[in-house]
Structure 1
Amino acid sequence: MNVQVKRWLLSYAVAAVIFAAVDVVWIGTVANNQYESQIGDLLAPSVNLAGAVAFYLVYVVGIVHYGIRPSHPDATMRERVTGAALFGFFTYATWALTALAVLKDFPTVVALTDIAWGVAVCSVVTWLTATLLRRMFARAGTAK
């Protein structure tokens, strides 16, 4: 396996752990309460685990590709975080604005909160992952 593939897979693994941890905190402290109070009648009685796992597996690919960019070692942190923020904005806006457009009485506050969360979580995951990887690679003598 070549170095680029190894870096990409390591970036994916680190980002997946960070994203899952940050998202669990968000869901437990903000999203569950907001969803229950604002769209409780739309919620399933329990989480579809297969759907949730599929979302995380696929979504982290986007964060790695558009944010962390392990294939572009010369990208600045600003470029990485900007790419991640845009990825988060467009992906979460797709869900939230579609829900606003097609679901009866879908609350605007939920749509706006979700979009803001998409921007924030992708930016934070990218920044944390890129910072951690930079330190790991510097210690290993393979900077960038």
Structure 2
Amino acid sequence: MNPRIKRWLLSYAAAAVIFAAIDVVWILTVANRQYESQIPHLMAPSVNGPGAVAFYLIFVAGIVHFGIRPNDPDATLRQRVTGAALYGFFTYATWALTALAILDGFPAVVALTDIAWGAAVCSAVTWLTATLLRRKLAVRTGSATG
């Protein structure tokens, strides 16, 4: 197998496991409680499994591409984490601010919490994955400029 593809797939697998673990804890300890107290009228009676799986598969690919960057040996850890934070910020902001704009009674606190979570979780997943795979990815720890 091509080494570039192998690095990408390894990064994807590691990031998927890390993201799923962190996100499940977040959902069970924070998000569900906030959603149930703030937007119970929007909550479905059960999770849409195919929708959730599709989200995770696609979203993790974005974390790998914009954050981990397994085939960019010149990217520093700081650059990777910054890219991931921006990816999480913009993607979660797209959802949260759209909901705020078009859903009647969607609370700003839910939107702000989701946006902050997006930036934080993408940063954490990238940092953990890049640190775990440091040797395979040739991650540099220098500053963003050098």
Q: Superposed, which structure 2 residues align to 1:71-82 within 5 Å?
A: 71-82=71-82
**Once the 2 structures are TM-superposed, how far is the Cα of residue 60 of structure 1 from its aligned partner?**
0.3
Q: Which amino acid aligns with 2:87?
A: F
**Once the 2 structures are TM-superposed, how far is the Cα of residue 71 of structure 1 from its aligned partner?**
1.3
Q: Superposed, which structure 2 residues align to 1:31-42 within 5 Å?
A: 31-42=31-42
Q: Superposed, which structure 2 residues align to 1:30-109 within 5 Å?
A: 30-109=30-109
Q: Distance in 2 between matches of 1:15 and 1:53?
A: 15
Helix, strand or coil for the counterpart of 2:73?
A: coil
Q: Distance in 2 between matches of 1:118 and 1:4?
A: 27
Q: Which runs of 5+ in 2 are unaligned?
A: 140-146
The CA deviation string for residues 86-121 of structure 1, in whole angstroms up to 9 with x for no partner, is: 000000000000000000010000000000000000
- Count of equivalent residues: 139
Q: Distance in 2 between matches of 1:90 and 1:26?
A: 19
What is the aligned partner in structure 1 of residue 131 from structure 2? 131
The CA deviation string for residues 24-80 of structure 1, in whole angstroms up to 9 with x for no partner, is: 000000000000000011010000000000000000000000000001012000000
The normalised TM-score by structure 2 is 0.93
Helix, strand or coil for the counterpart of 1:70?
A: coil
What is the aligned partner in structure 1 of residue 116 from structure 2? 116
Helix, strand or coil for the counterpart of 1:45?
A: coil
Q: Distance in 2 between matches of 1:46 and 1:112?
A: 24
Q: Distance in 1 between matches of 2:73 and 2:15?
A: 16
Q: Distance in 2 between matches of 1:42 and 1:143?
A: 45
Q: Which runs of at least 4 in structure 1 moved beyond 4 Å after TM superposition?
A: none
**Once the 2 structures are TM-superposed, how far is the Cα of residue 143 of structure 1 from its aligned partner?**
4.3
What is the aligned partner in structure 2 of residue 9 from structure 1? 9
The percent identity for this pair of structures is 78
Cα RMSD over matched residues? Answer: 1.0
